[in-house]
Amino acid sequence: MDKEKFGTMLVLLTAIGSGMAIIVNRFFVLKVDPIIFTAIRAVLIGFVFLIISRRVPDKGKPVSTSKLVFLGLTGGGLAFWLFFVGLKATTGGRAAFIHKTLPIWAAIMAYFFLKEKITEIQIKSIGLAIVGLAIMQYDKISMSVRWGDMLVLVATLVWALESTLAKKFMSLGETNWRISFGRMFFGSLFLFGVAALQGKLSLILELQPIQWIYILVSTLMLMWYVLTWYWGLKYISLTKATGLLLFSPIVSLVLGMVFLSEQILPMQIIGSTLILVGLYYLSKTKSERMLSELS
């Protein structure tokens, strides 16, 4: 399998894992503070990738630790905090849709900062998938704008920046293992800091055994996401990779029907079809190499 196909397969696994996680989390209705919940998962995964990065032969050129710290503080910390604060001031459906606009912002950043050549078919494919997503979630989106929407949008922009930096660092020779470590570990430090300022660290000691099981299961799901995402991003363009993530809502829709007996509406079928058509053509495109890789 060539690198293009391998990277595409890994990112599709990322989308599948993301779609599964949404359904799995519905089975766990236990209330765990989102900051504490995310921080614990992040630090656990950070240590796992620290061990992996030290055991896997490193043939690359590591970037400075300060760059990994910045990567973690932004994408692994700040973005999550902004998202959670924004989520309290808007609806889950609106937040989910805004977050799914990530491919648009990532493509813009990839064009200007990574010098990726974005082809016409990629633009049309991602555009068709976004339209399909809007149709699929039409009943959860309204035209009114809430201040929480703005925070979720800023969080999405920060995640797009983090992915751009991760791709840039890997093009310079950094490994996806150290990228994964930096993003999760240093992000967890940011979130634990927020929890400390809010006086929530004591909540860790109050977690019940069943809640720890929930956290561990969710941690495994998130580790799947992080592992496949940065590994796949190493081999394909950022524009293509973020576009393929739009497969996740379809996974959630199908699993919701199978395991939760949720009804699939005609508009969801139409939207899903448009997403699948767009992603089919996107998956067939070749990733343009960045100028930094050509020099």
DSSP 8-state code for residue 173: T
pLDDT, residue 146, reads 79
Q: How far apart are CA 229 and CA 180, in angstroms?
A: 9
Q: Backbone phi, then psi, for 172, in 5-degree steps? A: -85, -5
Q: Where are the domains of the chain?
A: 3-285
Confidence of residue 22 (pLDDT cuts 50, 70, 90): confident
Q: How far apart are CA 62 and CA 187, in angstroms?
A: 19
**Residue-wise pLDDT tens digits, 187-214:** 999 999 999 999 999 999 999 998 999 9
Residues whose CB falls within 8 Å of the CB of residue 238, separated by 6 or more in sequence, listed in order = 106, 107, 109, 110, 114, 116, 163, 164, 167
Q: Residues 179-185: what's their mean pLDDT? A: 97
Q: Lowest mean pLDDT: which of 41-55, 65-79, 136-150? A: 136-150
Check: CB of residue 282 under 8 Å from CB of residue 244.
Answer: yes
Q: And the tokens for 145?
A: 């704008």
Q: How many helices (H) and strands (E) does the chain have?
A: 14, 0
Confidence of residue 28 (pLDDT cuts 50, 70, 90): low
Q: Is 61 exposed, middle or buried (0-12, 13-18, 19+ CB in 10 A)?
A: exposed
Residue with the bigger pLDDT between 183 and 23: it is 183
Report the 10 Å Cβ neighbour count for 251: 19
pLDDT, residue 29, reads 53
Q: Lowest mean pLDDT: which of 7-21, 64-78, 253-267? A: 253-267
For residue 272, the one-letter residue type is S
For residue 188, the one-letter residue type is S
Q: And the tokens for 279?
A: 């992603």
Which residue in the block uniquely carries the two structure tokens 């459906």? 93
Q: Is the pLDDT of residue 1 over 80?
A: no
Q: Backbone phi, then psi, for 96, in 5-degree steps? A: -65, -40
**% of the chain beyond a pLDDT of 70:** 94
pLDDT, residue 229, reads 98
* Reported pTM: 0.93
pLDDT, residue 25, reads 73
User: Mean pLDDT, the chain, as a whole number?
Assistant: 92
Residues whose CB falls within 8 Å of the CB of residue 24, separated by 6 or more in sequence, listed in order = 217, 218, 221
Report the 10 Å Cβ neighbour count for 30: 12
Confidence of residue 106 (pLDDT cuts 50, 70, 90): very high
Q: Is the pLDDT of residue 172 over 60?
A: yes
Q: Is the pLDDT of residue 26 over 80?
A: no
pLDDT, residue 291, reads 41
Q: How far apart are CA 12 and CA 179, in angstroms?
A: 19
Q: Is the pLDDT of residue 294 over 80?
A: no
Q: Is 282 left (phi over 0), alpha (psi -120 to 50) or beta?
A: alpha
